Structure formats: C-alpha cells, structure tokens
Structure 1
Amino acid sequence: MNAAEKTDEYDLIVLGGGPVGENVADRAVQGGLTAIIVESELVGGECSYWACMPSKALLRSAQALRAAQHVGGSSQAVTGKLDVRAVFDRRDSFTSNWSDDGQVKWLDSAGIDLARGHGRITGEREVTVTDADGAERVLKARHAVAISTGSDAVIPPIEGLREATPWTSREATSAEELPESLAIIGGGVVAVEMATAYTALGSKVTVIARSGLLGGMEPFAGERVAAGLKELGVDVRTGVGTTSVHRGANGVTITLDGGEEITATEVIAATGRSPRSGDIGLDVVGLEPGRWIETDDTLRVPGSDWLYAVGDVNGRVLLTHQGKYQARAAGDVIVARAQGEDVDDAPWGRHVATADQAAVPQVTFSIPEVGSVGLTEAQAVKAGIAVKAVDYDLGWVAGASLYEDGFEGQARLVVDTDRDVVVGATFVGPEVAELVHAATVAIVGEVPIARLWHAVPSYPTISEIWLRLLEGYGRDSA
C-alpha cells in the first residue's frame, strides 16, 4: 500500500509489534480483514532484540563447546576457550544489529500497515498514535483493537537498587562488554540462563535467590540446575535475600540479609515481569492502568466486545510461543466475529487458548537444560487430580550415555490415574529440549497410556526415556 492509499480506518488495530502483535494482525489479514500495527520501538519486539533470540545466541556457543568437551575423542581436540567477541558478534547477527528493517519488510509483504509511535485507546474502537515528534494520528477500528504490548522487567523495591541502575534482561542480552563480575538477584529462568551464559564467557557470577531456583517447576529441576551452576563456578546463594544495593566508583555493593556484602561490576534484576499497560488508555474502558488485563479464553476483554489482550500483557503465560498461540486464536476469532461466522469456543476449539491452562511447554537453556510441559506433581495434586509420578535417571538410557560421557539427568512423568493420560512431564539434562514436544503432543492429545506403549522410541536415542517411564508406570496400570 503506497502513501496515497493510507487510511485511518481499519478492521483491526494492534497495539504492539512484537511476535504476538504480528501474528494477530497476520491471521486477521489472511482471513480477509485489514490491519495496522502501532509500535513505538522496534518491530519484532522483546523476543527478537532483548530476550529469546539474543539470550539463546549467547548461550549456544557455550553449549556447543561443553558438548564437545564431554565426548571422548572430541574432547581431546578442544583446547581453546570461548571467543567472547565472536559470541557477541553472532548474537548481534540474530538481532540484525538491532535493526527492524527486515521485520518492516515482512509487514509490508503480509499486507499489514505500520504506524510508528505510542498508541493509546482514546475511545470505543479508537486509538490515537503520537509519533516521536509529537504529531498525532487518530485510528478507527471497524471491528477490534488488540493490545499486545508485552511486559517489562520488574525492579524490586530493594533499597538503592533502582538508583544503582541495574541491568535487566535487556541490558544482559545486549551488552557489548563482558563485566568482570556479575551479581544476579532472582532465581527464575532469566537468572539461571544469564548466570550460565556469563560464567561461560568468563565473568565471576553470583546468584542471590531467596526462594531457590526455578520455583514452580519440579523441585529436582532447581536442585540440579543449582548443582550445575556451582560446577560451572557460579556462587549460588539461596535462602537469603538482598537488603540494599549501592553503586560506587568501582561497581555495585549488594548487602545481604545478615549484613554480608557482595561486590560486582554489574547487577542484574531478574525477579519477574510486569504488564506494559500503564499508559495505553485502559481507563477509557474502565480498566486500571498498569495491571494485567483479564480476558476470556477467546482473549476478549470482558465488558468490551471489541477489545482483546493477547500475549504477556494478559498475564496468562509469559512465553513467546504461548503468546503466538494466543495470537492465532485471537486473530481467527476476530475474523469470525467480524464476518458473522460461528465461534468455536469449546475446549480445544480453534478460537480458544485452552493450552494455556493444560499444556504449556517451556525450556530453560541452562546447563543442564530443563524442559517441562503441563503440570508438576504438586500442581496436579492441588488441582484434585489422582496422580502417579514416575521418575527415571536419564543417565541410564543407552542413547544418553552415547550422547555424552557421564550423562547426568532426570525425567518425571505425571499421570492422571483416573483417566490414564499424561498431564505433566519434566526432563533435566544436556540437550533435553527436543524431548518436550513429544510430551506436549501426548498431553494435548490426551493419548491413553495403553496407546503410548505403541509409540516405539528409536534406539539408541535419548527418547528411549519414554519406554522407561512407561515401564515405571506399569503396564498393568494402563
């Protein structure tokens, strides 16, 4: 669409040009609607420039080196260390050097318009965009507005922390210089991944995690990752909090509960996320700015039949792949409602995000890796499900011992014994990420255990763990 054809009226207006917003708009356009994305930063969003892609690029070089060092024959050939500048340069290539030219070209090829600037809801089906020069443009939506503005890193209310200008995930994934030492406050995925990456690159890393590592996952996941970090040389402090932070001429000083002090070149705040919803006009529709935006399972905001919230900003699941999953459902249901078609909003229907509650897969790219999907044993019990948890040492699987000398890992399958279907799975060990999707399919498909016996894993691969877990559950139980 050339400049002369630009319009201020669209079927769909999307606030936020990250992967979620792009997918909502794309599905709508594929369904025959017109759409425009409003974005104040880089098209492609957090994932492309400050999260998924740069963080995994930083981690991959260390993973590849470690893999070579743990196989006899190749380990003797590996004599050097990571080239920090080469790792950073490879990371930069995956962010397109923080240029969104390619993403903008994709929008154009997909038939999606772009408005650069900050968007606010200023009326029913109305968004006002303010560009960098202060000029305003009013957009009207014939059918829907979708909020896909994402989330921001939380700076916890620790004395002096904000004044110490801590790194968040953004600075950690885009740094161009390696800090001599690094303190990380938090024990979640960002904390353990950045601890893994930076210690591999050569920083002296300390992790301060009051509640331990990877809370919300199976307990053995956090325990094994803590052990892995310590083996790498990370100073892991759990069960202790941070009292204050002070930045001086030579770095930061972190005071712990009890008075002990830790000094570091930089400090990362990795204690969670908050919705990016504070200045987008939520008050116009009767919602409180700065809060997670509640939706129904079709991602529509109750009380406004034209308003949707998709991705991180709704607080359902803060993962890029789940946001894109929501976006596909939201884009399709916006089309259906615009065209007067039936809405498939039954569980597992085309227009709902059922998997957000039942089958969320996630990989933590630490050393060892953690791959999980569905419910933990504790979550299943809390939900009132009669469960049996089956554990197996991954190192006993032939494919694992071939893959890496001294392979160490653990797997757990959580089975609903009333229905004899898998409701959760967790894998911890080198390169276990590729095991997760099979478990996801089993959970989403509600495949009976009796049928899973006929899904024969190839030998000798790490996937043979499925056979061992089924044997642990017991053929007589199926």
Structure 2
Amino acid sequence: MTEAVEYDVVVLGGGPVGENVVDRTRAAGLSTALVESELVGGECSYWACVPSKALLRPVLARVDARRVPGLAGAVGGPLDTAAVFAHRDYWTNDWNDDGQLDWLGSIGVHLYRGHGRLYGSRKVAVTSPEGEHHVLSARHAVVVCTGTRAVIPDVPGIAGARPWTSREATSAREVPGRLLIVGGSVVAAEMATAWQGLGSQVTVLARDSGLLPRMEPFAGELVAEALREAGAVVRTGVSVEAVVREGSTGPVRVVLQGGETLEGDELLMATGRAPRTEDIGLETVGLKPGDWIAVDDSCRVPGHDWLYAVGDVNHRALLTHQGKYQARITGAVIAARAAGSGELDTSRWGAHVATADTEALPQAVFTDPEAAAVGLTLAEAGRAGYRVRAVDYDLGRVSGAGLYADGYRGRARMVVDLDREVLLGVTFVGPGAAELVHAATIAVAGEVPIARLWHAVPSFPTVSEIWLRLLEAYRG
C-alpha cells in the first residue's frame, strides 16, 4: 500500500446517498474523498428509480389519456418502444457518469475509482481497475454508503436460468414476448406495469397474499386488479420450487409448489435486497461482513465515533429519498462534531436525528393506479400501541378525480391518533396519487392538528379535495 492520503471525510459509495454526504460535508468546508467502483450516481440513477420511471411514464400517460373523452381514440395504438428506450437512455446518459464527475469537480471532491474496503480505524484502502492501491485516512469520519444488491433465492436451476434482476429489467433493449415476474413488492409491481404496457405478456407470481405487502392492503388489491384488466396474470400465495432454461436462448420454465409449470421468455426475480457489505472490510473494525450495519439516529455506528452508515445499507428505510435525507442529517452531524460546536440537537425532530425514518416515511409506487403513502398503516399503528381510527374515502367520488379521468378508481385512508388528534399515516391509491403524498408528509411530520388541517382549504376542482372529504368523514 502507498502512504495514506488524509482527508477530513472519506465516503465509500457514490450513489445519491454518498453524493449528498459529500455535498453537505464540502459545504461545511471539510475536505472530502469519494470512492466508487461503478458509476457515480449509483443504482438509482442508472438501474432503478430513474430508468424505471422513464419506462413507466409513457405507459401511465397512455393509460390516463385513454380515460379522457376526446383523447382516448387518439392513443389507442401501441407505444413506440424505440422512442421509450431512447428516452430511458437519455435519462441514464447512456450509462455514462461524466456529468456526475463534472459536478464532483465543481465542489472540490476527489474521486477514487475502484473497490474500497475499510482498512482498520479511520482508513479506507482502494484498489483501482488498473491495479493501483491507495490508502485514504479520515480525520473526522468514514461514511459507508454502499447500498444494496438484488437477492436471487437459491432455488434449483436458478443459476443456469440467467434471470433478470431489477438491473436487467430497467436496462433491457427488447420487449420480451412473455415475462415471468417472481415477487410482489414495488419492483415486481412497477416492472409488471411497465413491461405489460410495452407489449409483453406478464405473469406475476407473488408468495404473499397480495401485492405491495408493506402498504395498506387495498393498495395491492387495486394494483393487481388493474394489472389483470391490462392483460397480465397476477397470482398470489404461490412459491417457485425450481427453474429451468432451455439452452442459451430458449424459454425459461418455473415449477411451482405442487408441480405446475409456467413458461416465459425472460424471468425477473424481484425478491428483495441485501446489503452490499460482504467485501468492504467490516471485519477490520469488528463488524460482520455481509450484514446490515446498525446505526443510531444520527447514522453513526455504535462503538465507533468516526464511522457512519447511511442509506439502504443501514436498513432503516430502503428508499432513495430517505437515504438522501439521512445523508443531509449525517453531513450536519459530521460538520458539527468536526467544528467542536458542543451538544448536538438530538431532540425528537432535531437537526441531527433522522426521525422521519420511523415516523414520517413517504413512498410512491408508479403503477396503474399509483400508490403513495406516508407514516404508519392502520395495522402498524395498532401494533405500536396507539389508539387509532381509520378514515376511508372513495377517491373516485371527489369532483377533481372525475374530471381527471372517466371512471377514476381509487381510495384514500388517513390513520388518526385519537389521543392527540394528529395523523399517523395517510395512503392514497389512484391515478396521479403520487402527487398527493407530500401534503400528507407535511401533515404527518408536522403533527398538524386536525383542527388546523380543517383550515387548509384544497383548491377546487383538484383531486386534493380528498383532504376535505376525509376531514368531513372524520368529523361526522
């Protein structure tokens, strides 16, 4: 190894979370190095959030347009898949990160390309693709932002079947004739929506009793109903026992529990995520390789006053926007400690704690219909010991929804803490519902009393009138 190069902060992992950490620490005047083995911008920019939404947007726009009188007849044909793929490629910059590198240079961050590993206390060793070795030493903090990878379950025949993960599903350049999707959570539901809309015959095989199991049950029910109406097959409560691929390019077959066999041209395994910690040197600081990294509410690793783990890798909230939120919190924590500014603000909603991870976590799922939620579900609130009431309303009965689309179908729920009369959680399912969730996030994070929400008047005729209807239903 070469002699260590010293920085104030060394960040291991250059996805959106790592980018936000370096942005915040540089803004605080700290010298910062970033280590990345793949593309700067990470999973979200190249294989997840960005390309998936580029594929989904034309599918959802066409679905919405077909529900608008006077427009429906003009959008009856198939999508131009070449144009959709070209638009996706534009947003991923053809899987080139030059723009990200320009930004890093503009804020004075030193990038080390290569595989980084912890190298004992406050050090990271980097091996470049050319075989060069560097040791980076951190005066104040090392921040692990290595994210997650797709989990492919160890079922017989899976290796030879060459299944897709989310990476292949978002970067494919041809529409498979038949696509089998194993899984029922967000990746499965979104990719089923995208590829069915692009012309594939999709079959979803979910082990759970419904889709989107971490949301209110009606969310998965409405999404499954729409997928079936679009021509997809959705089966729940099923397990895959084996997989067989014929030759190098032949069809793939999955064998279900009980012996039934299904055939497709491609197989997407959307069966969860695991931390990318198996080869980052955790053992050199007394942690177990391959594990999620436990942290406190400031994202610092207990027992290591210099080590932080931010984003998916700490398993607090596997969402890009939430990892970026953690990064902003962590950047502020590192800057405050480096400046020796005294006590941190660790009060419940203080500047140095990631409270929203547990109390106001928002998510949007870009299916048809869209599903968006923040905070606790009714079941979660009950398990947490709150005295609650759920208020439900048919979203299609709101005037703005009927104007948005003929036959608008959706549902909304707010979960009310009866002792404080504030919202613990809100869920919206319906076309365009993702644009409703931030108002709910403000209400939940701000613990806005229902008596005050009554004075937040929604504009007519928008779908946001759902707020008035929910509050009326609560008041009786």
Structure 1 counterpart of 2:143, one-letter code: A
Aligned to 2:321: 321
Instruction: Give 3-state SS (helix, strand or coil) of 2:455's partner.
Output: coil
* Deviation string, structure 1 residues 365-416 (Cα, Å, up to 9, x no partner): 0111100000000000000000000000011000000000010100000000
Residue equivalent to 1:340: 340
Match runs of 1:30-429 below 5 Å:
30-211=27-208, 212-249=210-247, 250-341=250-341, 342-429=343-430
TM-score, normalised to structure 1, is: 0.97
Alpha-carbon distance in structure 2 between the residues aligned to 1:437 and 1:195: 25
What is the CA–CA distance in structure 1 between the aligned matches of 2:201 and 2:242, rounded to whole Å? Answer: 20
The offset of 1:76, in angstroms, is 2.4
Q: Distance in 2 between matches of 1:7 and 1:443?
A: 46
Kindly indicate whether the alpha-carbon contact (under 8 Å) linking 1:182 and 1:267 is maintained by their aligned counterparts in 2: yes
Contact in 1 for aligned 2:298/2:353 (Cα 8 Å) = yes
What TM-score, normalized to structure 2? 0.98
Q: Give the C-alpha shift of residue 80 in structure 1.
A: 2.4
User: Are the counterparts in 2 of residues 196 and 367 from structure 1 also a CA contact under 8 Å?
Assistant: yes
User: 2-side partners of 1:44 and 1:216: how far apart?
Assistant: 27
Q: Which amino acid aligns with 1:115?
A: Y
CA distance in 1, matches of 2:157, 2:302: 39
Aligned equivalents of 2:77 and 2:264: distance in 1?
26
Cα offset, 1:163, TM superposition: 2.8
Q: Give 1:123 deviation, angstroms.
A: 1.6
The answer for the alignment partner of 2:473 in structure 1 is 472
Q: Which amino acid aligns with 1:417?
A: L
The Cα offsets for residues 313-359 of structure 1, whole Å up to 9 and x where unpaired, read as: 00100000000000000011001101101311111111110000001
Q: Aligned partners of 1:54, 1:243: CA distance in 2, in Å?
A: 31
1:469 offset after TM fit, Å? 0.3
Q: Is the 8 A contact 1:51 1:170 kept in 2?
A: yes
RMSD across aligned C-alpha pairs, in angstroms? 1.1
State which drifts further: 417-426 or 242-251.
Answer: 242-251
- Secondary structure at the counterpart of residue 56 of structure 1: helix
CA distance in structure 2 between the partners assigned to 1:83 and 1:236 by the alignment: 26
CA contact (8 A) 2:388 2:418 kept: yes
How many angstroms apart in 2 are the aligned matches of 1:154 and 1:404? 38
Q: Work out whether residues 4 and 137 of structure 2, in 8 Å CA contact, stay in contact via their aligned partners in 1.
A: no
- Post-superposition offset of 1:7: 8.5
> Could you tell me whether the CA contact under 8 Å between 1:151 and 1:273 is conserved in 2?
yes
Is the Cα–Cα contact under 8 Å of residues 155 and 162 in structure 1 kept in the other structure?
Answer: no
Deviation at 1:113, TM superposition (A): 1.1
CA distance in 2, matches of 1:158, 1:378: 32
Q: Which amino acid aligns with 2:207?
A: R
The whole-number CA distance in structure 1 between the counterparts of 2:70 and 2:162 is 46
C-alpha distance after superposition, 1:43-76 (max 9, x if no partner): 0000000000000000001111111111001112
**Separation of aligned partners in 2, 1:405 and 1:15:** 49
Gaps of 5+ in 1: 1-5
**By how many angstroms is 1:78 displaced?**
2.3
Return the alpha-carbon distance in structure 2 between the equivalents of residues 130 and 7 of structure 1.
13
User: Where in structure 1 do 4 or more consecutive aligned residues deviate above 4 Å?
Assistant: none
Specify the code of the residue in structure 2 equivalent to 1:95: T
Partner amino acid, structure 2, of 1:354: T
> Is 1:17 matched with 2:17?
no
Identity over aligned pairs, percent: 62
List alignment gaps of at least 5 residues for structure 2: none
Conserved in 1, the CA contact under 8 Å of 2:153 and 2:271? yes
Secondary structure of the residue that 2:119 maps to in structure 1? strand
AA at the equivalent of 2:84: V
For residues 47 and 346 of structure 2, the distance between their equivalents in structure 1, rounded to whole angstroms, comes to 34
Shift of 1:82: 0.2
| CA distances 1:150-186 after superposition (whole Å, capped 9, x unpaired) | 0000001222123311100000000011111100000
Check the 8 A contact 1:15/1:21 in 2, yes or no: yes
Aligned to 1:3: none
CA distance in 2, matches of 1:470, 1:90: 41
Q: Could you say what secondary structure the match of 1:25 adopts?
A: helix
Counterparts of 2:390 and 2:117, CA distance in 1: 48
Matched, 1:435 2:436: yes
Deviation readout 1:176-212 (Å, 9 max, x if unpaired): 1111110000000000000000000001110000102
Distance in 1, matches of 2:319 and 2:214, equals: 15
CA distance in 2, matches of 1:325, 1:162: 37
Separation in 2, partners of 1:267, 1:70: 31
Paired position in structure 2 for 1:452: 453
